[in-house]
Chain A
Amino acid sequence: MSDTTKIEIRALRKSFGSNEVLKNINLDVAKGGVVALIGPSGSGKSTLLRCINLLVVPDGGSVRVGDTRFAFGEGTRLPDVKALAKFRATTGMVFQHFNLFPHMTTLQNVMEGPVTVRRMAKADAEKLARAQLAKVGLAEKADQYPATLSGGQKQRVAIARALAMEPDVMLFDEATSALDPELVGEVLNVMQRLASEGMTMVIVTHEIAFAREVADRLIFMRDGVVVEEGPARQVIDNPQQAATRAFLSHFHRTGALPPATPAS
């Protein structure tokens, strides 16, 4: 087992009914690597991301994160709920629509994983949660409910909630797509800092400029296959495939990240 490859996906297949959304996908993410998944809607990139923490169970192939590997397909048994839960506890996920728990305060949202899943003492979990909230710049929002926060603040709380599990890997599923344009920057800033701290990250995004700055590798998907992959700057600045060129022509590819008040 490799020390440097954190995520290893082999021959991954997934169909929803007769619609084959992933066709023989292979993916490696190095420890501390940041991979951006881009592609038109319906390309399978979100499904691929959800297969990494098995929120979507693949039909075939294998998924390894860290030391845990699951194989799927004929002759394999589906992992039981306990094994799945344990596996998912080591990967953090951030959703497009935040999915914060509306019946809990911001602090309780962030404490929930450590308390319920890691069985951490309340006092320790609170300390951890406050530290994570401070890290995303929202220490003073601890006692508010999610409904009172802006979209950008919600997403930063969601990142803090995922980080409170102290995961090895962070998965971002279009984390800025539901945000008003002026709020995108504060979330990207948090993500950029996380990447610079050495977190292994897989990011499904439409922020091409961000992917160019922050990701070290880029994967372009279409119709359930990887069309092109390589170093992020190289693929964005000089795409080899016609499909990649056509897709990227819709975006501003360079330029600074959107301005934001730094989250400190």
Chain B
Amino acid sequence: MYQWDFGILWSYRWLFLNGLGVTVGFTVVIVVLGLVFGLFGAFGSLSRFRALRLTALAFIEAFRCTPILVQLIWFYYALPILAGVEMTPITASALALSLYGGSFYSEIIRGGIISIDKGQSEAGAALGMTPSQSMRRIVLPQAIKRMIPALMNQSIIQFKNTSLVSVLAVPDLVYQSQVAAHDSYRPLETYTAVAVAYAAILIPLTIIVRRGEKRLAVSE
């Protein structure tokens, strides 16, 4: 029987905290950037202009339909050769994860917008609103409420996806725990603790999301 000894992890506490800080900070960056890409993707795919629609669709499908691990490696190793730009592992992985997340956010935002009854924008138009006025005043305020649970869900997935940046040697929680595991010869304790750390952050978040969904169901 394996003798568990979590005590030895204590000496690596600063390493773990550092890693956790990078993971959380990284998540904030890719969620914010991802939402920006998502907005462009969503409005592009709903545009009146065919060229814009096709571009947005190509972006969404390219990133939705390839694995994020492949994208990370491709952005770091292949893109610099093709485009002639050097990227640090952090830039490459932030870009890849933001675009990947953005493709999913696009679909959530687009879905939220088209879920609003067409009569709403018609009523806006009948009052004399331009399409952008009715989007801003009528459609978006209703659509955002519906999008929030799905956006939160996708952001939770993004938080977990940051664990993949360790393959590019970005010093996140997983990367630092690899260091700790190699150093201590205690991989079981190390990775168990890492799993617990992710869950300890995400479980409260999922509870908040679920509450939000319930409140949404009541108000509709």
Contact B122 A55 (CB under 8 A): yes
With a cutoff of 8 Å between Cβ atoms, the chain B residues found around residue A158 in the complex are 123
Task: Please tell me which stretch of A3-11, A94-102, A134-142, A214-222 contacts chain B, meaning at least 4 of its Cβ atoms lie within 8 angstroms of it.
Answer: A94-102
Task: Please tell me which stretch of B103-111, B134-142, B181-189, B205-213 contacts chain A, meaning at least 4 of its Cβ atoms lie within 8 angstroms of it.
Answer: B134-142
Contact A95 B130 (CB under 8 A): no
Produce 1/0 per residue, A104-128, CB < 8 A to B: 0000000011001110000000000
Say which residue of A91, A99, A116, A161 sits within 8 Å of B133 (CB atoms). Answer: A116
Say which residue of B123, B138, B142 sits within 8 Å of A95 (CB atoms). Answer: B123
Total A-B residue pairs with C-beta atoms closer than 8 Å? Answer: 66
Most buried by A among B125, B133, B141: B125
Contact B127 A117 (CB under 8 A): yes
With a cutoff of 8 Å between Cβ atoms, the chain A residues found around residue B129 in the complex are 85, 113, 116-117
Given A99-B120, A101-B120, A117-B133, residue A85 in contact with residue B128 (CB < 8 A): yes
Complex Cα distance, B127 from A53, in Å, reads 10
Any A CB within 8 A of the CB of B70? no
Query: How many residues of chain B are within 8 Å of chain A by beta carbon?
Result: 18
Most buried by A among B119, B126, B131, B141: B126
Say which residue of A85, A92, A95, A161 sits within 8 Å of B122 (CB atoms). Answer: A95
In A22-67, the 8 Å CB interface with B consists of 53, 55
Say which residue of A53, A81, A103, A161 sits within 8 Å of B141 (CB atoms). Answer: A103
Any B CB within 8 A of the CB of A82? yes
Complex Cα distance, B129 from A86, in Å, reads 8
Complex Cα distance, B117 from A100, in Å, reads 11
Contact B137 A92 (CB under 8 A): no
Contact B130 A162 (CB under 8 A): no
Chain B's nearest CB lies how many Å from the CB of A83? 10
Any B CB within 8 A of the CB of A194? no
Contact A81 B131 (CB under 8 A): yes
With a cutoff of 8 Å between Cβ atoms, the chain B residues found around residue A99 in the complex are 117, 119-120, 122-123
Contact A161 B120 (CB under 8 A): no
Contact A113 B128 (CB under 8 A): yes
Contact A95 B119 (CB under 8 A): yes
Complex Cα distance, B118 from A55, in Å, reads 12
- Identify the closest chain B residue to A100 (Cβ): B123
Chain B's nearest CB lies how many Å from the CB of A98? 8
Say which residue of B125, B138, B142 sits within 8 Å of A55 (CB atoms). Answer: B125
Chain B's nearest CB lies how many Å from the CB of A163? 11
Contact A82 B130 (CB under 8 A): yes
Given A103-B142, A116-B133, residue A55 in contact with residue B126 (CB < 8 A): yes
Chain B's nearest CB lies how many Å from the CB of A15? 20
Complex Cα distance, B119 from A112, in Å, reads 16
Contact B127 A112 (CB under 8 A): yes
Contact B133 A97 (CB under 8 A): no
With a cutoff of 8 Å between Cβ atoms, the chain B residues found around residue A102 in the complex are 142
Complex Cα distance, B131 from A102, in Å, reads 19
Contact A85 B123 (CB under 8 A): no
Contact B126 A101 (CB under 8 A): no
Contact B127 A165 (CB under 8 A): yes
With a cutoff of 8 Å between Cβ atoms, the chain B residues found around residue A93 in the complex are 123, 126
Complex Cα distance, B133 from A158, in Å, reads 19
Given A116-B133, A116-B137, residue A53 in contact with residue B126 (CB < 8 A): yes
Say which residue of B125, B137, B138, B145 sits within 8 Å of A85 (CB atoms). Answer: B125
- Identify the closest chain B residue to A114 (Cβ): B127
Say which residue of B117, B127, B145 sits within 8 Å of A88 (CB atoms). Answer: B127
Given A101-B120, A103-B141, residue A162 in contact with residue B126 (CB < 8 A): yes
Say which residue of B120, B126, B138 sits within 8 Å of A92 (CB atoms). Answer: B126
Any B CB within 8 A of the CB of A89? yes
Chain A's nearest CB lies how many Å from the CB of B112? 14
Say which residue of B119, B137, B141, B145 sits within 8 Å of A97 (CB atoms). Answer: B119
Residues of A within 8 A of B (CB): 53, 55, 81-82, 84-93, 95, 97, 99-103, 112-113, 116-118, 158, 161-162, 165
Please name the 7 residue pairs, one residue from A and one from B, whose CB atoms are nearest each other, closest first.
A89-B128, A99-B123, A99-B119, A93-B126, A113-B127, A117-B128, A85-B130
